[in-house]
Structure 1
Amino acid sequence: MSGEPSLLGTTATAIFGFLVVIAFFSFREFEERRFLLPLATAAFVLRAALVPIFYIVLVNAGLEGFEYKDSEKYHYQGMEFAREFERGIDFDSQAWRTRDPGFPLLTGVVYWIVGPNTLAVRMLNAVLSALTLLWIYRIARLAFDDPRVARYACYLHAFLPYPLTIVISHRKDILVALLATFLFYHALRLLRLDKDLPKAALWIAMGLLAISFFRSGFVLPFLGILFFCYVLTQRSLLQAIALSVPTALVIQLVQILISQDTSIGIAENTARLEGKLLRSGALAEVGGLVRSVRMTSIFEIYKLPFATALFTILPFPPYVTGYLPTIISSWAQLASLAFLPHMIMGAMVSFDRAEWRRRIPLLAFIVTFLALLAAIHIGVIRYRETVYPALLVLAGAGLARGGNTALAGLIYFGLALLGGLVLFVRYS
Structure 2
Amino acid sequence: MPPRVLIIDDHRDYRAWLGQHLAAAFPDAHVVGHNPLEDNLLPAGFDGSEWDLVFLDHQLGEEDGLDVLAQLKEQPACPPVIFLTPQGDRAAIEAALRAGAHDYLPKGPAPHEHIRRVAGEALNSGRKAAPSGRAGQRAREDQDFKLKGHRLLKPLGTGSTASVYLMERQSSERLVVVKVFRQVPDEVDRFGPLQRFLQEYELVSAIRHPNVVHIYDLGIADDLAYIAMEYFAGGQLGERIGRGLPLDQALEIMVQIAQALAAIHKVGVLHRDLKPANIMFRDDGSLALIDFGVAKLRDAAIELSGLGEIFGTPYYMSPEQGEGMPVDERSDLYSLGIVFYEMLTGQKPYVAGSPLAVIRKHAHAPLPRLPENLAACQPVLDRMLAKKPADRLPSAAVLLEEVEGLGGELMAQTLRDVTGQ
- TM-score of the superposed pair, with normalisation by structure 1: 0.30
Higher strand fraction: Structure 1 or Structure 2? 2
Kindly name which structure, 1 or 2, has the bigger radius of gyration based on alpha carbons: 2
Higher helix fraction: Structure 1 or Structure 2? 1
